[in-house]
Chain A
């Protein structure tokens, strides 16, 4: 199943922690320019899948191909530079830097030691920061320290930091956790918008939110895929219903 259209192909992926198989025989194909949501009960292994793709955890079996390049065994920062960005489950931003500095530090120019030492804030970089700040709705908070943003704003800022790198694949781990209804709506618009020219993997529990954003849904349970397809197909799958009712 090697269609040119898939930007990411994950096959037979597995990892075990001291014999406990957190992810097992996991297959996953990501279309270009689409939003693919992974759902599943707590402890299903969703976060672990993202950890495996971005190199944070080493897989024990399987392959992860990104545009025909094997990511397994590649160092984390190289995976990022290839074009795979990742947001963590708990918002992870630089608390004592301002919004602008957070974004600027995520700009891909000058990520080597000497690149950093001789980095200058050019008008292009500044323009890019402003553009992204506009997109994530923090344009009026450029000089605010990251630490005093609301929880939702922190989530957005982290998404903005990913966008600065202009990755082809963005992975968001529970991006609307702890957000108000309005913030959720804004986030779903944001995700729809950023998926126009890149693919987005989202992990989420909130079904309403999933319905709104998902092009495709994968349901995980105990480290395995139990169902995949459109939201409608998945919702009517007896296996899924069983897992969620049993839950």
Chain B
């Protein structure tokens, strides 16, 4: 019960969470054909990044423009495992060197690079999916937050890291698959991930892990740690001089956000079947921030919905006007930041309180009206109906 209260502070929060669960776990799977549902699953995998950004940016005030790095690292870890499984000696027998990924063979590489070796193990790969991004974020975060690097400088540095990583992957085709990425992924431990059944299973796996991550984030937000995050955002010095290690708290959140992003990347790969540097660089990193901002950077559920809404908007709109989409998204972002800093969740929240206010106002007014009068009006209105309906 205490646990439940830590998760949901108000009844409204619990209800909106339940509605959200019903939407992604029941309604969408029933309503959409598998092709569309698979698309939803892809967008939900961005939701992991968005949850991380809610903690990092919304709650802690640290804007990272490099979350794509961690999404990408998680994705590549999973893709490397799947690629090795797809490159067994039999199915690659036409290559000069059978048993290594095809893009290596095209680049005259004759032996599997050392850093690919451990990815033959599923256990290693699935741990690396979130531990590697977490570790890298921890090192970067510790180095920066210790030196009090924050704000715009932090954003720029993370953006530079995103650029470096995407260029690094792009430029080393033999080791990474280069611009094309890692494609032709087929099976996971012998289980074909391209079948309809597998796609359903993976969708539900994604939903399950996403909900678990969302609950974890909600839990964190409502603990003392969550209050410390907000306090650090608003009164950094007071927190520091209350004996908290501000740098460590920030590093932890950054690493946690990275781990969530990595998990999202892995689920992306499983559902979409490829990974490429275009998902690692600056543009996807900024897009993730936009999804979060549009949905609401303070609200876990809001941010996930932001991923769905913006991406469906993108799909629908860019089919019709491929060039205009970028402008529309940029415009939406500016509008949201300027007029609705808390995003859609903030608007809904406000309209919720507005509705509550209106309804109390309404009942107040009703009481003031003489009951007889209102009854009269009501019966008059009822009498009116058949007349207008008749002709």
Contacts and interface: CB of A to CB of B under 8 A. Distances in A.
B317 interface: no
B224 A116 contact: yes
Contacts of B225: 113, 116-117, 119
A158 B238 CA distance: 9
Interface residues of B, number: 22
B246 A93 contact: no
Nearest to A86: B241
B234 interface: yes
A188 to B, nearest CB: 24
Interface centre among B238, B240, B243, B245 (most CB of A within 10 A): B243
Given A76-B240, A86-B241, A105 B234 contact: no
A77 B231 contact: no
Contacts of B245: 75, 77, 111-112
A85 interface: yes
Given A94-B234, A97-B231, A113-B252, A80 B224 contact: no
A142 B219 CA distance: 24
A203 interface: no
Contacts, number: 76
Given A77-B246, A110-B224, A96 B241 contact: no
A94 B252 contact: no
Contacts of A75: 245
Contact of B231 (A54, A94, A108, A113): A94
Interface in B217-267: 220, 223-225, 227-228, 230-231, 234-235, 237-238, 240-246, 248-249, 252
A56 B223 contact: no
A161 B241 CA distance: 10
Contacts of B231: 94, 97, 105
Interface string A73-109: 0011100110001101000111111000100111010
A101 B225 CA distance: 12
A48 interface: no
A146 to B, nearest CB: 10
A84 B36 CA distance: 60
A101 B227 CA distance: 9
B238 A96 contact: no
Contact of B235 (A92, A108, A111, A119): A92
B252 A80 contact: no
B224 A94 contact: no
A113 B248 contact: yes
B237 A88 contact: yes
A80 B246 CA distance: 13
B238 A88 contact: yes
A96 B238 CA distance: 14
Closest 3 CB pairs of A and B: A116-B225, A119-B224, A80-B243
Given A77-B241, A77-B245, A85-B241, 8 more contacts: A86-B241, A94-B231, A94-B234, A105-B242, A111-B243, A116-B224, A118-B223, A161-B242
9 contacts: A54-B241, A77-B240, A77-B243, A92-B238, A116-B224, A117-B224, A117-B225, A119-B224, A165-B243
